[in-house]
Amino acid sequence: MTLASRLMLVTVLPILAALGIVGIAAFETRDRIDAAVEETRVAHLLGMLQATGQANLSIGLALDQIGLMQARIEREKAADQAIVAIDVFGANGRAIYSTDRGALGEPVGEDWVARIADSDLWRINAGGDATFGVRLENDLGKPAGGIAVTVADAERADRSLGWALLIASHAGLAAILVGLVGALLAFRFARRMTRPFSRAADILTAPAPPAGREGAFDAAARAARTAWQQADQAVEVGLARLEALDNVA
Amino acid sequence: MSPEASQAAMAPAEPAVTAATGWRGPGRTVLACMAFAFLSVAVLSGAAAFLLVAHFEREVQDGARRELGIIGASVARSLAQQYDKAVRYGIPLEALPGIGDHLAATLDAADGLTRIALIGADGRRLGVAERNAADGDTAVAAIEANGTAVARIEVVTSPAALTGAFDAFRLTAVAAVAAASLAAALAGLFVGRHLARREAAFADTLTLLATTRFAAPVPALPSHGPVALAFHRFEDAQRALRERRLAFDAYADELLAVDFDERQRPEIAGIRAELGLERLAPAPGAEAE
């Protein structure tokens, strides 16, 4: 492998690695921000539904007496294609309102019920979907149930794929351009570093000394050329003298 | 040239890397290769990474701004509807308790919101909640009574609230460029050392060839590139000279073969000694044959 090849590898590979890491980090950052935007959107929806539910609970209604809740959750689901289902469930773990009418009265996931012990927004990923939820409190501040909004991860996955392709194309293009510049620089640097060798080779064989700045081996090459010429001349003289001997004989 | 001087010239000389050549030792070569690798990778990958980070950041912020604008408008509408009810029931907004807490709770529930304010028709702030002073896009929803605006809700959204992740991204990019540059410098060290070994061998070869009149062996050659070309050029010169020496030896042997009275033997020995043309040792290949 020549010096130019080695230097090209030394230059281009780290550049590709660095830009690859930047691309991967860009994708992960975009993914995190996308998840945060989605969480903000769902948190807002849950906040509105929670406010509606608790306003009714605070005036003494039971959770299953909020007649407008079913229509409300169906309206919200229709307005957002990413929403798979919205469920309002009681503290007993059974769905009281649901955009999936077949699920009414059916038990919801045990982990959903467990999460209403906490007042914070919660999130559970399962089966390619993400479920966000909050709890509903009665007028005594006790958990009366919860609201869960399930969003499809497929849409986010599509966005992620599109973003990954965008990043790959931009980072790839940058890597190719910068890699080519790096390879060109490496080639020129290698030529510069091997110039003393080329000059020494030229000094040995060319009658006129090579033009340009004196190289590191120029003096030694000139000495070697002189020695070579002297040796060659000595053979020439020796052959002539042998020939003279031969003629005398 | 005297026979003694000839003998001395033909004796194998010790390598004298830097003494007889202009080569300044391996340090300079190694340092040059390391510096080239480090600087070229640092500058090129640093510039490309900077442009990519700026480009990706702009793209992500634009997307996040659009999404948050929609959320902000929805929050403003939703809050306006809630306060609308109070106004319809004839409750003055100024008399509503806990507006600030309500707005703060709404703000806390959504990360991308930076400020929510309830502003009266006269421009007076009836309640406000904010978490930082970042500028952003404002969504406004009016609160009306009998077709007249009595107040408005202003919701400010800022992608900066969500793009804190970019700090880590920038840090990762800087670390990647730094690590790549250091790795390149390390690899440059090995490339430089390899080149320095070639330079040392070449300097030795030049010195030996000069002091032994091309009788010393040329070391193992690299196969490609300008360095190989230089070594090959010297090997070719040595081979040509060796062929001429062999021709001289053959001619001398021819004369000795018919020198029955041995009158020419001392004269030929004298020529050899005077010109430094001692009989060449057979080449390794020739011995095998």
The per-residue pLDDT for range B88-111, each reduced to its tens digit, is 888 888 878 888 888 888 888 777
User: How far off is chain A from B4, nearest CA to CA, in Å?
Assistant: 16
* pLDDT at A133 (0 to 100): 92
Please report the sign of the dihedral spanned by the C-alpha atoms of residue A15, residue A18, residue A21, residue A23: negative
- What's the pLDDT tens digit per position in A52-62? 888 888 888 88
Q: Which of residues 77-136 of A touch B (CB under 8 A)?
A: 121
> What is the percent of chain B with per-residue pLDDT over 90, rounded to a whole number?
20
For residue B141, which of B129, B152, B130, B126 has the smallest C-alpha distance? B152
Q: Copy the structure tokens of residue A244.
A: 């003279």
Residue B122 has pLDDT above 90, yes or no: no
Q: Looking at residues A157-178, what average pLDDT do you find?
A: 90
pLDDT tens profile B46-91: 999 999 999 988 888 888 888 888 888 888 888 888 888 788 888 8
- Give contacts of A 185-244 with B, CB under 8 A: 185-186, 189, 191, 193-198, 200-201, 204-205, 214-221, 223-224, 226-228, 230-232, 234-235, 237-239, 241-243
Q: Which two tokens stand for residue A34?
A: 């996308």
Whether B209 shows a pLDDT value over 70: the answer reads yes
Taking contacts as CB-CB distances below 8 angstroms, the residues of chain A near B173 are: 21-22, 25
Tell me which residues of chain B, numbers 18 to 77, contact chain A at a CB-CB cutoff of 8 Å.
20-24, 29, 32-33, 36-37, 40-41, 44-45, 47-49, 51-53, 55-56, 59-60, 63-64, 67-68, 70-71, 74-75
Complex ipTM more than 0.85, yes or no? no
CB count in 10 Å sphere of residue A152: 16
What average pLDDT does range A219-234 have in this prediction? 84
pLDDT at B175 over 90: yes
- B125-145 pLDDT, tens digit each: 888 888 875 678 889 998 887
* A129-137 and A143-152 strand pairing: antiparallel
Answer yes or no: is pLDDT of B4 > 70: no
Within its chain, how far is the Cα of A224 from the centroid? 57
Nearest C-alpha neighbor of B153 from the set B109, B104, B119, B129: B119
In chain A, what's the furthest Cα-to-Cα distance?
142
Q: How far is CA B149 from the centre of its chain?
A: 62
For the ranges A173-182, B46-55, B151-160, which has the lowest average pLDDT? B151-160
The verdict on pTM exceeding 0.90 is: no
Interface check A2 vs B, CB under 8 A: yes
B2 vs A: CB within 8 A = no
- From start to end of chain B, where are the E strands? 113-120, 125-130, 137-145, 148-157
For the segment A74-108, what is each residue's pLDDT rounded down to a tens digit? 988 888 888 899 999 998 889 999 998 888 888 88
